[in-house]
Structure 1
Amino acid sequence: MITVGIVGGTGYTGVELLRLLLGHPQVTVTILTSRTEAGRRVDDLFPSLRGHTDLTFSDLDTAQLKQCDVVFFATPHGVAMQHAEQLLAAQTKVIDLAADFRLQDLLQFEKWYGMTHQCPNVLKSSAYGLSELNRDKIKAASVVGNPGCYPTTVQIGLAPLLKHERALIDPTRIIVDAKSGVSGSGRKANMAMIYTENADNFKAYAVQGHRHHPEIVEALEQISGQKGLFNDLIFVPHLVPMIRGMLSTIYVDLTTVGSEIDLQKLYLDFYANEHFVDVMPENSSPETRSLRGSNQIRVALHKIQANKLIILVAQDNLVKGAAGQAIQNMNIMFGFAEDSGLDGIALLP
C-alpha cells in the first residue's frame, strides 16, 4: 500500500485522478490540495464522490506532501518544478500532468510555455511517461512527465511504423488532424469555453502553432532514433462540442517497402501485449463515446491507395490522455499490475 498526494484537486484531471485512485487496491489518497477550496469537503464540491471519500481540500503544504510515496501535480505548467527537488530529497516520487517534465529541449520549453525551467537537472533525469513506449525508463524514474493528450494519440498511432527496422513512411509528409472535447482546456472561467460559444459549433485553433507540436516532434525523434526528420509535421487541433473524447486522424505517405508489408499485422504484433491499446479490425472507425471513462486507446488503419495510409486513434482525453495514463505510470514505478485501478469498462451511452 502506498500513500498519494494530489496537488490541484479541483480541476478536471485532478478529480479524475481522485475518482480512479479511490478504486485502486494499493493506494490511499492522504492529501488533496486547492488554493481556493481549502477547508471544504471534497464531496461537497464533487457530489459524485459522496460515500467514497471523506477528504477535505487543504492548502499546499510541502511538509505534508513529503510524507507521501508519490505526488501527482494536476496543476498549471510551472508548478511541479517549484516543488520537485524538495520532494525528491524526501524520497517522494513526482508525476506531473502538466508540461514541466515533457520537453528535454529547454529552449523549446521556454519558447512555448513562456518561463525558464527551474530544475533542469531534475528534468534531465526524468522519464517521459508514454507508458507503452518508455516502460523501462518510467520504472527506474523518480520523476515522470505525463505526455500531452494529443501527443499520446500521435505516438501510439505512429510508433509501429517508426520502430520498424526499415523506413515505412516519409517522415516529412505527416499530417495530424486532431479533435478534442472541451474538457481538454481545463476547468476554469474562459469565455471561449462556455456552452453558448461551443454548442452547435466546430472550429480549429492554434493553426499557426500549438505547444504540443514540439512535444510530438521530440517524441517521434526518440521513437525513431532520428533527429530533424519531423520538423515539417503538420498538426492542427480542433475543438468539438462534447465534454470528453479525442480523435486524431493521421495521414502518412508509405514508402515502397511500407506499401508492400501487412500493416495490420504489424500493428497487431507491436501492441499484442499492451492491455490498453486496442488495434481494431482494418477499416474500422473508433468512436470517442466507446472510450468514455476508460484508459483504453483504439487504433484503426485505412489504406486508401497503394502509398497512402490513414491512422485513426481515439481516446478519452481525461483518462488515457491524462489521469489514467498518470496512474498507469504510477503502477509501473511501484511495480503494481499495470491495470490496477484502471480496469473499469467505458460508459455507454
Structure 2
Amino acid sequence: MSALNLTARIGVIGAGAMGAGIAQVAAQAGHQVLLLDNRAGAAAQAIDNIDRQLGKRVENGKLAAEVRDATLARLHPVESAQALADCALVIEAIAENLEAKRALFVQLESVCSAQCVFASNTSSLSITAIAAPLKHPQRLLGLHFFNPAPVMPLVEVVCGVASDPALADCLYDTVKAWGKKPVHTRSTPGFIVNRVARPFYAESLRLLQEGAADCPTLDALLREAGGFAMGAFELTDLIGHDVNYAVTCSVFDAYYCDPRFQPSLAQKALVDAGRLGRKSGQGFYCYSEQAKRPGPSTLPDAPAAQTCVVEGDLGAAQPLLSRLQGNGVKVISRDGGGLLRV
C-alpha cells in the first residue's frame, strides 16, 4: 500500500501545540486538513498562530509567500467530529488519557468510513489498549510526531497487537512523503524515543534533587560535554512538564514500577504549581520578558591534563579513552578495578 494521495483529506483532533503542528505539516505537504478541538475557537486560533509563525518565516526569507498562502488555504477549523466523515486519515492529538482516547475513537468509528485510517499521536500509551474497544482495531495505529512537529523530522509509526501491517506501511510512506523520517516500532512502553529518553531526564532530575548542581550547570554539562542541543531542564521546559511528567508516569507504570523510570518529585512540584515551562512562563527557568537566564557554575581555568592512568576495564566509560587520546592525552593502562586517574 502506497502513501495517501494528496486528494485525501486529513483530520486532526486536538489544536494544542502538537495537533496544530501536525495539521501544519499535512497542509504544507498538500492535503486539505480539518482541525477539530473541543474548546470553542481553539482550532481557529491555532490556525491564526500558524499564520503568524509562517509569516515570520516569510519575513526572514525562509519561505515563499505563495507557500504560506497555499498552506493556510488548506487549513479548515471544524466544530464537530461529524465534519471528519470524509477523511481518509484522522490523527488524534488530545490529552494523554487512555479512556478519553478510547471514547474518541469509538465515536469516530461511528462517523468515518470503513476505509478511514485512525492514528494516535500518543507518546507512551499502549496502541493495543487504545484500539481494544473498537469493532475494527486493525485500523488504528500510532503516529507519534515530536515537538515542534513542523521542525522535528522523526515520526514513530507504532503497531499494536491488532494493527494492520499494510496500514503501517501506508502511514510510513505518507509521512515520508510529508518530508519526515519515519521508523516502524511496536507498541511497547514509551515506544523507542520515550523509552530511551527517560534516563536522559531522570539522571539530571536526580542530581538536582540530591543537590549535586543547579539546573544551568547540569544543562551546560549535557550541552558542552555530552554534545546535546539542550539540557534536560531546558528541554522539559520546552516540552511542557504536564506532558513530560505524564509520559514518565506512564512508562514507570508500564514497566511495573521499575525504579529506573521513577518520576521526579521536583518535576511533580512544578506540575502541581502550574509551572509547566515555556507555555506557562515558568518552569525550571523563568520566561518573562524581564527574566535573565542564570549561568552555570564553573571552575577556574586550569591546565589541560597531559596524562591519565586507567586501571582495569572502565565498562561503559571505556569509549572515552579514544576521545582522550584524540585530544592529545597520554593514556597509561594498568591492571585494576576500573578506575580513571587524572
TM-score, structure 1 normalization? 0.41
Q: Which has the larger radius of gyration?
A: 2
TM-score, structure 2 normalization? 0.42
More helix by share: 2
